[in-house]
Amino acid sequence: MTSPVALITGASRGIGRGIALELARAATHDFVINYAGNEAAARECKELCEKASDGKVRVEIVQADVSIAADRARMIDFVKQTFGRLDLLVNNAGVAPNVRADLLDAGEESFDRLISINLKGPYFLTQAAAKLMIESPTLADFQKAIVNVTSISAYTVSTNRGDYCVAKAGLAMMTKLYAVRLAEHGINVFEIQPGVIETDMTGPVKEKYDKLFAEGLTPINRWGKPSDIGKSVIAVAHGHFPYSTGQVFNVDGGFHLHTI
């Protein structure tokens, strides 16, 4: 029996790890954990996934910086050589600005970094991955899909990290573009907009958000967990939305709701 295959970018830690663990628990897909530099974390994630799946799925790790073209090509080649197919791509890897700077002061270096990693990387990785997905024979019971992890920052203004907001808004449009282009190939494309999730990325602003949650930031009033995002990816990966594409899922505790 051929198993479907997934590639999750930035899966050594945080949300990506949460997605990998949920996929492992479901034990349906073999998958590749991508990381940028933290090999120890990627190896640990692989071990946890193997345990979570009770050894039922094959898990591999691959180092690649999604902002570098040669790394992207090597990663897709690794998937092809190792598994011979691809059914699910999760564009999760992303970074926050090193320094939160006011819109009137923020520099080009941070802008270029954020656009490269958070937008250009997934844009061209999707291009390459889609070609491999198209040539992979469709498996009964499994929906080929691409999931882009954007953010509430795709539509919420933070004037001290405009670069991040602009990159995520671009990624949201990328979802719509690929949704239309890939529909004829049976590949559905989704956007997940996480709210405030407890990971290394939000570590430096933990106190700020603790205070906001204490003041009632979201209707479901708690920090989000990587597994909250992981579970929504599973719903997509298991084909529960076969007649949807370009769909945005708010996985944010209700942050997006306006009240009066």
* Token reading at 60: 């591999």
Min dist CB 90 to ligand NAP, Å, is 10
The single residue among 15, 21, 128, 133 that binds ligand NAP, judged by CB under 6 A, is: 15
113 — phi, psi (to 5°)? -65, -45
Instruction: Identify the active-site residue in 123, 164, 178, 243.
Output: 164
Residue for token pair 């094959």: 58
Active site residue 164: yes
**Exposed, middle or buried by CB within 10 Å (0-12, 13-18, 19+), for 131?**
middle
Considering only the stretches 53-61, 65-73, 107-115, 210-218, report the one whose residues sit in contact with ligand NAP under the rule CB under 6 A: 65-73
Is the CB of residue 172 less than 8 Å from the CB of residue 190?
A: no
First to last CA, the chain: 54
Name the amino acid, one letter, at 178: Y
Min dist CB 197 to ligand NAP, Å, is 4
Considering only the stretches 13-21, 124-132, 139-147, 172-180, report the one whose residues sit in contact with ligand NAP under the rule CB under 6 A: 13-21
Is the CB of residue 105 less than 8 Å from the CB of residue 76?
A: no
Min dist CB 2 to ligand NAP, Å, is 27
Give the Cα separation of 71 and 100 in Å (integer). Answer: 28
* 35 is a site residue for ligand NAP (CB under 6 A): yes
Helix (H) or strand (E) holding 40: helix 39-52
Min dist CB 45 to ligand NAP, Å, is 8
Site for ligand NAP in 95-154 (CB under 6 A): 95, 117, 149, 151
The single residue among 52, 61, 66, 234 that binds ligand NAP, judged by CB under 6 A, is: 66
95 — phi, psi (to 5°)? -130, 155
Considering only the stretches 49-57, 105-113, 139-147, 192-200, report the one whose residues sit in contact with ligand NAP under the rule CB under 6 A: 192-200
Catalytic residues: 164
